[in-house]
Amino acid sequence: MENNKIEIPKRTKIDNNYKWSIEDLYISREAFDSDFKKVKKFIQEIKNYQNGLKNKEKILECLKFRDEISKTLDRLYTYAHMKFDEDSSVEESQIMLSNVQWLSQSFEESIAFIEPELISLGKEFLNEISLDPVFEDYNFEIINLIRQIPHTLSQNEEKLLAKTSLLAFSPSNIYHHLTISDFEFPEAFDSNNKLYPVTQGTYSLYVHSKDRILRGSAYKSLFGTYKKHQNMLASNLDMSFKFLNFYSSVRRYESSIDYSLFSDNVSKDFYKNLINIVKSNLQPLHSYIKLKSKILGLERVRLFDLNVSLFHFEKDISFLDSKEIIINSLMPLGKEYIDLVQKAFIERWIDVYENKNKTSGAYSTSCYDVHPYILLNYHGKLEDVFTLVHELGHAIHSALSNKNQPYSKSSYSIISAEIASITNEMLLLEYLLKNALDETEKKFFLNKFLENTRTTLYRQIQFAEFEMKLSELVDNSQPLTAQSLNSIYDNLNREYYGELFETDEYSGVEWSRIPHFYSPFYVYKYATGFSCANYFAQRILNKDITSYIKFLKSGGSNFPLELLKSTGLELESLESVEFTIKKFKERLKEIYI
Give the residue numbers marked as catalytic: 391
Which residue type does 583 have?
Answer: K
| Cβ-based neighbours of 61, under 8 Å, separated by 6 or more | 49
Check if the beta carbon of residue 395 is closer than 8 Å to that of residue 375. no
Half-sphere exposure (CA, 13 Å, Cβ side) for 105?
16
The alpha carbon of residue 396 and the mean position of all alpha carbons in its chain are separated, in whole angstroms, by: 15
Sheet containing 370-375, strands listed edge to edge, beginning at the edge strand earlier in sequence: 350-351, 370-375, 363-367
Whole-number Å distance between alpha carbons of 346 and 340 = 10
- H-type helices in 163-229, by residue range? 165-168, 170-176, 200-206, 212-228
For residues 518 and 470, the answer to whether their CB atoms sit within 8 Å is no
Contact between 345 and 326 under an 8 Å Cβ cutoff? The reply is: no
Q: Could you tell me which of 96, 108, 117, 111 has the C-alpha nearest to residue 163? A: 108
- Is residue 390 within 8 A of residue 43, CB to CB? The reply is no
Residue 565 DSSP SS3? helix
| Count of H-run helices and E-run strands, the chain | 26, 5
Which has the closest alpha carbon to 532: 438, 450, 424, 401?
Answer: 424
Q: Which residues contact 90 (CB under 8 A, 6 or more apart)?
A: 83, 84, 357
* Number of CB atoms found within 10 A of residue 501's CB: 22
Cα–Cα dist 419/382, whole Å: 21
State how far the Cα of 198 lies from the Cα of 214, in Å rounded to an integer.
11
Instruction: Find the helix or strand (DSSP H, E) in which 561 lies.
Output: helix 560-565
Report the b/e string of 534-567 with b at 16+ CB within 10 A: bbbbebbeeeebeebbebbbbbbbbbbbebbeeb
Containing H/E element for 366?
A: strand 363-367
Q: Please, which residues have CB within 8 angstroms of residue 279's CB and are 6 or more apart in sequence?
A: 461, 465, 495
Cβ(544)–Cβ(399) below 8 Å: no
One-letter-per-residue 3-state SS of 274-335: HHHHHHCCCHHHHHHHHHHHHHHCCCCECHHHCCCCCCCCCCCCCHHHHHHHHHHHHHHHCH
Helices (H), 435-481: 439-453, 459-475
Residues in the chain: 593
Q: What is the distance between the alpha carbons of residues 504 and 490, in angstroms, rounded to a whole number? A: 9
Query: Where is 231: in which H helix or E strand?
Result: helix 230-250
